[in-house]
Structures are given as structure tokens and as C-alpha cells.
Amino acid sequence: MAKSKTINVKGTAITIIQKEASEFISLTDMLKAKDGDFFISDWLRNRNTVEFIGIWESIYNPNFNYGEFAIIKSQAGLNSYKLSVKDWVEKTNAIGLKATTGRYGGTYAHPDIAFEFGMWISPEFKIYLIKEFQRLKDDENDRLKLEWSFQRTLAKVNYHIHTDAIKQNLIPATLDKLKINFVYASEADLLNMALFGTIAKQWREEHPDLEGNIRDTATIEQLVVLSNLESLNAVFIHQGQTQPERLIQLNTIAITQMKALVNNKQIKNLK
């Protein structure tokens, strides 16, 4: 399923879809900014257009059908010449233009081609299209940098798990024999018991006024430990340990790691 984003260019909402590793900008949406009657087929039948997208395909598309392209190029610009996006794609194996149906139906183009199409709307529209698309990319890069910074901070935090810290609140209680001997059908509840001392159903019954589940209310320290417990539990399962055996180990590890995290400076900076 394609993922979509939207940019606003001079008051016109333009949809951008992601398919595999490439993004495509809606030419159908861009047409809304054009004064008078103008169709994508009008643009596609122009010889300069055909030459441009043909060169683009020759650079980026190893399966481009040059034979069919030569025939189309020879006919481009003639009054009787007509070519739809669907015909162009089917005849030349083109990848730069797409005609889609469904929720995000319409004609889409790779940004390089969409920018060229923007010139047919107006030179001003093309400039603002490039500007807004670049702004979107800058915003996405900023988010990626933030995520990378967060991951790096978590890596530092995990390093400090192996150091001593002062015991404070949030430390899980040591489980009694009754809880340890209880076999949990859900591995998720096994982790919940090891860290929170309860299972999801019991937590919901005890907190009927709260939305979400037990993990939605967890602190960032608990979420860090939970992530570690998930990885360790997979190792213990591979080793053939029973649920009660794994629960004892996971509970002990949760207590140790929470002690290490509750006073950690990097974690406090994330709050």
C-alpha cells in the first residue's frame, strides 16, 4: 500500500506517494492550479516533453524500451498524435510516470519529471513546487536526525545499565513463588509480570478510568528495560528454559536495570 504526504503549493494541495524506494508527485493535483483547459495528454504529446522524459528514462531505467521510444518520438508534435500515460508506460516500460487507481488514483511522476511538468503550469508554480518539496525533505531529515539522536542516547543509557546506581522508586518488586509458578499463556504478560508485577488484564481491571494498556503508561525507564527484556527472553526461549525459569531471571534483570536507570542523566534529559 502506498503511503501519502501532502504539500501546499500556492494554495493547491499536492499529494506525494511513496512506492518502494521512490516518491511520486501527483500531476493530477497540479493541474488544479492551471488556468483554462489543459490535460496531461496535451503535455505528453509535446516533442520537448517526450525528449525530456526519454532522456530521464535512459539514465535511470535499465529496462527502457528504446525502440518504442524512437517511434513515439518520431510522431510527437503531430496534430494527429495522441499518447496517454498508460500507453507510454506500457510501450516503453517507463518508470518515471505512473497512472494509479484507488484511494490515491491519478497520474504521478518522479519529482524530476513533476518539476518539469510544473513549468507547464507556470514558471512561478514550478519554483514554489521545488521550494515546498525541499521544505518537506528538510523536515523529514530533521526528524531522522532526532530519531538518530534518540537512539544514540538510548545506546549510552544501555551502557550505564552495567554500572551501579542508587535504588529509588520504580524498582520492580521481587516476585513471590505463587506468581513465579503461574504459567502465562502470553509471552507479553510474562514480560509485564517481570517488570510491572502484574498482567495486562489485571492492570485494566485495576485502572478502569485510564485509556490504553499497561505499557502506554510506562515511564521511559521502564520502556528501555522492557526492550532489553524482550531480547533476553528470546535468548532464554532458544535455550529451552521454562516460563517460570525465565520469569525469575527476567524479574531479577528488570530490578537490576531499573536501579541503574532511575537516576541516569541521559534518561532525565529525554523527559
Looking at residue 239, its pLDDT comes to: 86
Claim to verify: residue 186 and residue 130 sit in the same structural domain: no
Q: What is the number of structural domains in the chain?
A: 2
pLDDT in tens, the chain (271 residues): 457 889 999 899 999 998 777 899 999 999 988 876 677 888 888 889 999 999 999 999 999 999 999 999 888 877 777 888 999 999 999 999 998 877 767 899 999 999 999 998 889 999 999 999 999 888 888 777 766 666 666 655 554 543 343 334 455 677 777 776 666 667 888 888 899 888 888 888 998 888 888 888 888 888 888 888 888 888 888 888 888 888 999 999 999 888 888 766 665 555 5
In a domain, 202, yes or no: yes
In the numeric block, the cell 508527485 is attached to: 25
Q: The domain containing residue 68 runs over which residues?
A: 3-140
Claim to verify: residue 111 and residue 218 sit in the same structural domain: no
Q: Which of 87, 116, 140 is the last residue of a domain?
A: 140
In a domain, 161, yes or no: no
Looking at residue 138, its pLDDT comes to: 85
Q: Which of 113, 140, 167 is the last residue of a domain?
A: 140
Claim to verify: residue 23 and residue 111 sit in the same structural domain: yes
In a domain, 149, yes or no: no
In a domain, 164, yes or no: no
Claim to verify: residue 189 and residue 106 sit in the same structural domain: no
pTM above 0.85, yes or no: no
In a domain, 195, yes or no: yes
Q: Which of 89, 117, 140 is the last residue of a domain?
A: 140
In a domain, 171, yes or no: no
Claim to verify: residue 46 and residue 124 sit in the same structural domain: yes
Claim to verify: residue 75 and residue 192 sit in the same structural domain: no
Claim to verify: residue 184 and residue 128 sit in the same structural domain: no
Claim to verify: residue 189 and residue 118 sit in the same structural domain: no
In a domain, 254, yes or no: yes
Claim to verify: residue 10 and residue 122 sit in the same structural domain: yes
In a domain, 147, yes or no: no
